[in-house]
Each structure stands twice: as C-alpha cells, then as structure tokens.
C-alpha cells in the first residue's frame, strides 16, 4: 500500500481557488487509481474526483464539474486537485485515496487514505 499525505487546504473566499496536493510514498504509484473525496460538516464522505490508473480518464461528481480538475505527476508521486470558483458548499475535509489497479469509485474500493485537509469557503 501507499501512504498518502494531503496538503494545500485553507480558508478562501467564495469564488477563489485552491490547489490540493497528495504526496504518495511507496512503490508503483502509477498503478494506483487515485481519488479525492470530501466530508462536509454533518455529512457522509462523498466522491469528488477520480483518475484511472491506466486509461488516465477523469471523472467528477456533478457539483464540481467545470470547476475542479484532478491531475497526477507520476514522476513526483503526487496527485492534485485544482479547485476554482469555490462555493461555501465546498467546505469540507478533503481526502486523497488510492486503489491499486482500481476500476471503480466506491469508497470501499480504496484501500489507502490520507489524513485529510480542511477546506473552508467563506461567503
């Protein structure tokens, strides 16, 4: 398994931008499907964005389409989440997750998780 450490969270005004990073340690990073999830106050953890390990295709939950972009740099063992046009409803703890040779976006399919980074969007 890989170990994941997120960074880049913080407080931003509505309409602003943040870029989250997730650094992975371990072997074969390129074999991992990567996902970003979030958990808002009083809410369940939800899928936000994902990047397939082989096809390099991306997928987003509807509420962030056109505003968030997931990408990865395999040379740096890092996955990113660029978040633009942030809204107060984006406020949550954001988690990075990894699934070796993963092909689905269910929380239960991701075996490695970071500790999370807080994103707060003020109105």
The angle formed by the CA atoms of residues 7, 67 and 41, to the nearest 5 degrees, is: 55
CA distance from start to end of the chain: 39
Which residue from 58, 82, 78 is spatially nearest to 69, judged by alpha carbons? 82
Q: What pLDDT is attached to residue 73?
A: 94
C-alpha span between 79 and 85 (Å, rounded):
20
Q: What pLDDT is attached to residue 56?
A: 79
Q: What pLDDT is attached to residue 27?
A: 85
pLDDT in tens, 29-74: 999 999 999 999 999 999 999 999 987 799 999 999 999 999 999 9
| pLDDT, the chain, mean | 95
What pairs with residue 71 in β-bridges?
80
From the CA atom positions of the chain, what is the Rg in Å? 13
Which residue from 15, 28, 11, 9 is spatially nearest to 98, judged by alpha carbons? 28
Token pair in block for residue 66: 């056109």
């Amino acid at each position: 398994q890989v170990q994941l450490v997120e960074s880049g969270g913080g407080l931003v005004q509505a309409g602003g931008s943040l870029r989250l990073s997730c650094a992975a340690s371990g072997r074969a990073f390129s074999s991992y499907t990567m996902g970003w999830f979030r958990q808002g106050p009083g809410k369940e953890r939800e899928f936000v964005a994902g990047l397939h390990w082989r096809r390099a295709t991306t997928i987003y939950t509807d509420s962030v389409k056109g505003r968030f972009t997931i990408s990865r740099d395999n040379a740096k063992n890092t996955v990113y989440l660029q978040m633009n046009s942030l809204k107060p409803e984006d406020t949550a703890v954001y988690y990075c997750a990894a699934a070796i040779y993963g092909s689905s976006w269910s929380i239960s399919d991701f075996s490695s998780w970071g500790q999370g980074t807080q994103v707060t969007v003020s109105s």
